[in-house]
Chain A
Amino acid sequence: MVAYIIRRLLILPLVITGLFILIFGLYSLLDPYEKAGLYVRDITELKNRDINELIEQYGLNDPPWVQFFRWVSEVLHGNLGWSEVANRPVIDAFKRFLPQTVELALWSAIPIVLGGIWLGQLSAVKQNKPIDHASRVFAVVGWSLPTYVAGLLALFIFYGIFKWLPPGRLSTDVSLYVSLSGEFKMYTGIITLDAILNWNWWVFTDAARHLILPVLVLSYVSWALIMRVTRSSMLETLRQEYIMTARAKGLPEKVVIKRHARRNALLPVATIAGLTIAFLFNGLVITETIFDLPGLGRWAAEAARQFDIPSLLGYLLFNSFLIVIANLIVDILYAVIDPRVRLE
């Protein structure tokens, strides 16, 4: 068991080194002038400056591996570089954008997991009945909708017409109170959580109101993922002998499902935790852009568009850590629960 975990942990740096090489390989496809162009925001900046000076200043003409090792040694010295799109050091940008992303991801995870499992169970139990078809179509339509169309339409209906659920993070007056009054203490940067810690209901409801739409949209486009796995694993479980036995004993169907089937059927669902997180992060890129939430996804989208290498590497580093570690935890838990894995 311990050896297994150690082996998995040893792989981590390998994966991350691979990531670095890959992304730097992409960067090396640009010629030095294109790289230098990344540093020029506005044409006026070239008035008294030769672009060749920029190339020299940043060593953009050096062989790719020299540039690569220069960057790696900087990172090892704790300097992740300057994020051009966020206009601050990558570390600062990361700290600034992380809470928003965590907040949205955590709040979305609840409906995604619970809703997905509920839908999957519902359609498995009622296999091939209209309700099975309906819930599957419902989930698959969400899966098939382009996120930004769903997002913009939702904003339009709930904010544009009914004026209930605005974009952004906080209303103006609340935001002024939170940032300027000095009464509101920021512990985590996650507004809903801080509001609870400050015991401030007003701030909490306002923050929650701003989260409803993005959470709904993110959930709707992600449900199909968990629903599918739950459904097929539930179907499999329901065919197992012990369920048959339970049924034969005359236990009511509800009890059979709740007490016996569900627990076993949920095991495979846990295995896609990494996948769900990866999928969630893809969704965040667009959801944060649409709903004007200053999170990592929005930052990454902008960084990828402008090819801001330090930001991208910082984001990739974080993202791959997250996915690898999530998978690791799941695997370990799985090994603990299911002895067969350990034997393999």
Chain B
Amino acid sequence: MWRKVGWIFAAVALFGVVAWAQEIKNPDTVIWVTHGPAETCDPHFSYDTASGEIIFNVYEALVRWPYGIVDADERDLSYSLDPSKLQPMLATEWWVSSDGTVYVFKIRKGVRFHYVGVKKEDGTIEWVDYDSLSPEEEKNIVPGYGELTAEDVEYSFERGMLQDRDGGPIWMLLEPLTGYPTLRALAKAALGKEVKNLHQLTPDEQKLIYEKYIDPTVEAVGDDVVVFKLPKAYPPFITILAHSGSWSSILDKEWCIDYAGCWDGKPDTWAKWWNPGGGEVAKESELFDIMNGTGPFKLAKWDIGVEVVFERFEKYWGGPAKIKYAIIKKTEEWSDRLLMFQAGDADIVTVPRQNLPQVEGLPGVVVHHMLPTLSMNPVAFFVAPVKVEGNEFIGEGPWDGLGIPPDFFADINVRKAFCMAFDYDAYIEEVLLGEGYKTHGPIPKAFDWAYYQPEEELLWEYDLEKATELMKKARNGEIWEKGFNLTILYNEGNEPRRIAAEILEANIESMNPKFQVEVRAVPWNTYLSLLVTSKLPLFIVGWLADFPDPHNFAVPFVASYGTFSGWQGEYMVENIFKPYFDELVAAGMATTDQAERAKIYYEISKRAHEFAIDIWLPQAYGVRVVRDWLQGFPFNPIFPGPYFYPMYKAYE
């Protein structure tokens, strides 16, 4: 009886495997299962990766990065992050003045947006799907309505700068173009008074700000030329304009004003559209869930947190894509994603690194290994001194061996000892499954032009004996004598951070029985609130690139005003970041000469190492898991997610 059942099982399984190997499921649709809901479709509001993934496939920018194709058997990683290798997209040619302050772009002709304005018999304008128009009907398109012009480019950047939502990405446009990080700061300088709520600006004030500071920065000249004027050189500016970040997307001015109800383009009305939803309520911006780009795909459906469906733009200027649909499916549960992928119901799957063994070697599955990444995540930061009031993590009263002294990490011996107490090789082998590299400062390896492979002695080595010696020396032996009790927190759900903390815990505790380390998880919001109030003696967070330039990493990690370095306590800021780093960071921006800049960033890394300001944890290489029938998957580490245009499904 049971044998019979066994045979039936085997037959069913075999049948399943055979059927599964031959048939390509959904041949004209590429499906990516991943997790994390997107916040918005508005390119000027979006500052999260998930929103970027959508915008990336629908909107286009002036220039784009070269990308290599990673296919089943063959990997052409001819991508580059070198700005001199940028390719034309909506601009066909461009020039930069020798002092780096003027950028001129020639705009591509004959490009149409997904939706175009057509004049109806009664004289009103109706927005219709460009694909649905016959050649005859195309003649009714109102000039400029859904047609790319230099004016559209100017409008797009101005709309972005004037919208400047709190906590959004627009600092990347405002800082190089106006010299001020936010519109508020600009208004303060322009009006000579502090205005917190720009909605209260009078029309005259708005006009002054627009005409004097915003309008001159980007100007359309004739039909097809756009000129950007910067107050001073900003070497990474061209990388900010490149297709990858959403903020440089090109919108259609007429559609934005006429259909979507965005800023009407007048100099004295813009305040109404400033900071929609207080920077938080994404729906308040007009482009929250509607899109009209020039890219290869139209947004067909956005079911927030469930799925995004793209439909091919048949009349794309570069020729239509090979696939008809692309779908981003959101599924939080890894097991579900794995099962869908195994069954062929998904072509690309986001795999937590620790679960890679479950997909490795599956029939019909290809894993792309060792892809360069543009992030420093995680890094462990030392804080000195921590805030004392209301801080439950440093113990009570004068330090007696319970808790830690507030300036625990002000002693360089302690910082160095912690760096040496981390088992880098074990982390790479067991957590990153061999796919990681050691770091020695804030600049990731993917910046090949700015990254020097350091000498061996510039990498921290795991050496408990030396660490013990250093701890004995620290604070003239007081720490070794009294011991301490340190709490390391991480935000719950973040596995690499947890394991990094646990490795530290095990090694530090093994040095001296009086050394106690506790690792604890807290929700993200609590974690954040402790970070910004400098209550954590040691925190672990990470940084992803906004635009591919080492400057984007130097500032948050080592500038005294940086996001992370600013939280590392007064001692670190005053005694380390201000005297040793601020000048270097400024110098990195003062020149456009790449060789010169490379040297500066190397010096930054070297100092970051010598002062042991952080524990530079090993960084993971990227991994991509796809079905073997998926061809033409482009690669560049700055991409927010898959770019579906070159993809198709076939066995070759």
Are A and B close enough to touch in the complex, i.e. CB under 8 Å? yes
Contacts of B40 in A (CB 8 A): 87
> Which residues of B (1-46) have their CB < 8 Å from a CB of A?
12-13, 16, 26, 29, 31, 37-40
Give CA–CA (A80, B132) in the complex, Å: 39
| Complex partner residue of A42 from B47, B282, B533, CB under 8 angstroms | B47
Determine if A31 and B31 form an interchain contact, defined as CB atoms under 8 angstroms apart. no
Minimum CB–CB distance for B285 against chain A, Å: 13
Which residue of A is nearest B301, CB measured? Answer: A179
Which residue of A is nearest B324, CB measured? Answer: A176
Determine if A180 and B301 form an interchain contact, defined as CB atoms under 8 angstroms apart. yes
Determine if A172 and B327 form an interchain contact, defined as CB atoms under 8 angstroms apart. yes
Determine if B283 and A88 form an interchain contact, defined as CB atoms under 8 angstroms apart. yes
A38-52 vs B, CB cutoff 8 Å, 1 = contact: the mask equals 111111111111010
Determine if A46 and B532 form an interchain contact, defined as CB atoms under 8 angstroms apart. yes
Give CA–CA (A38, B529) in the complex, Å: 9
Determine if B37 and A87 form an interchain contact, defined as CB atoms under 8 angstroms apart. yes
Known interface pairs A46-B532, A82-B280. Does A40 touch B342 (Cβ–Cβ under 8 Å)?
A: no
Minimum CB–CB distance for A314 against chain B, Å: 15
Determine if B339 and A156 form an interchain contact, defined as CB atoms under 8 angstroms apart. yes
Determine if B525 and A38 form an interchain contact, defined as CB atoms under 8 angstroms apart. yes
Determine if A87 and B167 form an interchain contact, defined as CB atoms under 8 angstroms apart. no
Determine if A48 and B167 form an interchain contact, defined as CB atoms under 8 angstroms apart. yes
Which of B171, B528, B556 lies at the interface centre, i.e. has the most chain A CB atoms within 10 A of its CB? B528
Known interface pairs A41-B39, A49-B167, A87-B304. Does A161 touch B13 (Cβ–Cβ under 8 Å)?
A: yes
Contacts of B76 in A (CB 8 A): none
Determine if B336 and A47 form an interchain contact, defined as CB atoms under 8 angstroms apart. no
Contacts of A89 in B (CB 8 A): 283
Say if the beta carbon of B526 comes within 8 Å of chain A: yes
Say if the beta carbon of B151 comes within 8 Å of chain A: no
Say if the beta carbon of A128 comes within 8 Å of chain B: no
Determine if A40 and B333 form an interchain contact, defined as CB atoms under 8 angstroms apart. no
Say if the beta carbon of B523 comes within 8 Å of chain A: yes
Which of A33, A44, A171 lies at the interface centre, i.e. has the most chain B CB atoms within 10 A of its CB? A44
Contacts of A42 in B (CB 8 A): 47-48
Determine if B280 and A39 form an interchain contact, defined as CB atoms under 8 angstroms apart. yes
Contacts of B181 in A (CB 8 A): 48
Say if the beta carbon of B563 comes within 8 Å of chain A: yes
Determine if B26 and A172 form an interchain contact, defined as CB atoms under 8 angstroms apart. yes
Contacts of A87 in B (CB 8 A): 37-40, 282, 304-305
Minimum CB–CB distance for A80 against chain B, Å: 13
Determine if B167 and A306 form an interchain contact, defined as CB atoms under 8 angstroms apart. no
Which residue of B is nearest A169, CB measured? Answer: B306
Say if the beta carbon of B281 comes within 8 Å of chain A: yes
Binds B, one of A233-241, A262-270, A286-294: A286-294
Minimum CB–CB distance for A178 against chain B, Å: 10
> Which residues of B (508-555) have their CB < 8 Å from a CB of A?
523-530, 532-533, 541, 543-544, 546
Known interface pairs A48-B171, A152-B335, A289-B332. Does A176 touch B309 (Cβ–Cβ under 8 Å)?
A: yes
Say if the beta carbon of A146 comes within 8 Å of chain B: no
Say if the beta carbon of B149 comes within 8 Å of chain A: no
Which residue of A is nearest B49, CB measured? Answer: A42
Determine if B563 and A46 form an interchain contact, defined as CB atoms under 8 angstroms apart. yes
| Complex partner residue of B331 from A159, A160, A163, A292, CB under 8 angstroms | A292
Which residue of A is nearest B174, CB measured? Answer: A48
Determine if A180 and B39 form an interchain contact, defined as CB atoms under 8 angstroms apart. no
Per the CB 8 Å criterion, the residue count for chain A at the interface is 56
Say if the beta carbon of B426 comes within 8 Å of chain A: no
Chain B's interface size range is 35 or more
Give CA–CA (A152, B336) in the complex, Å: 9
Give CA–CA (A175, B563) in the complex, Å: 43
Contacts of B277 in A (CB 8 A): 82
Determine if A179 and B166 form an interchain contact, defined as CB atoms under 8 angstroms apart. no
Determine if B29 and A47 form an interchain contact, defined as CB atoms under 8 angstroms apart. no
Determine if B304 and A88 form an interchain contact, defined as CB atoms under 8 angstroms apart. yes
B329-356 vs A, CB cutoff 8 Å, 1 = contact: the mask equals 1011101100110110100000000000
Minimum CB–CB distance for B76 against chain A, Å: 29
Give CA–CA (A30, B529) in the complex, Å: 10
Say if the beta carbon of A166 comes within 8 Å of chain B: yes
Minimum CB–CB distance for A187 against chain B, Å: 18
Say if the beta carbon of B206 comes within 8 Å of chain A: no
Say if the beta carbon of A173 comes within 8 Å of chain B: yes
Minimum CB–CB distance for A254 against chain B, Å: 34
Minimum CB–CB distance for B441 against chain A, Å: 19
Contacts of A183 in B (CB 8 A): none
Which of A34, A47, A96, A160 lies at the interface centre, i.e. has the most chain B CB atoms within 10 A of its CB? A47
Determine if A51 and B532 form an interchain contact, defined as CB atoms under 8 angstroms apart. yes
Give CA–CA (A276, B279) in the complex, Å: 42
Determine if B345 and A37 form an interchain contact, defined as CB atoms under 8 angstroms apart. no
Determine if B343 and A166 form an interchain contact, defined as CB atoms under 8 angstroms apart. yes
A281-325 vs B, CB cutoff 8 Å, 1 = contact: the mask equals 000000001111010000000100111000000000000000000
Minimum CB–CB distance for A211 against chain B, Å: 15
Say if the beta carbon of A168 comes within 8 Å of chain B: yes
A-B contact pairs, 12 of them (CB 8 A): A31-B529, A37-B525, A37-B526, A43-B528, A44-B543, A46-B167, A82-B283, A87-B37, A87-B40, A173-B26, A290-B335, A294-B306
**Chain A interface (Cβ within 8 Å of chain B)?**
30-31, 33-49, 51, 53, 57, 82, 85-89, 96, 152, 155-156, 159-163, 166-168, 171-173, 175-176, 179-180, 289-292, 294, 302, 305-307
The 5 A-B residue pairs with the shortest CB-CB distance, nearest first, are: A37-B525, A33-B529, A45-B167, A37-B528, A37-B529
**Chain B interface (Cβ within 8 Å of chain A)?**
12-13, 16, 26, 29, 31, 37-40, 47-48, 166-168, 171, 181-182, 277-283, 300-301, 303-307, 309, 311, 325, 327, 329, 331-333, 335-336, 339-340, 342-343, 345, 523-530, 532-533, 541, 543-544, 546, 556, 563
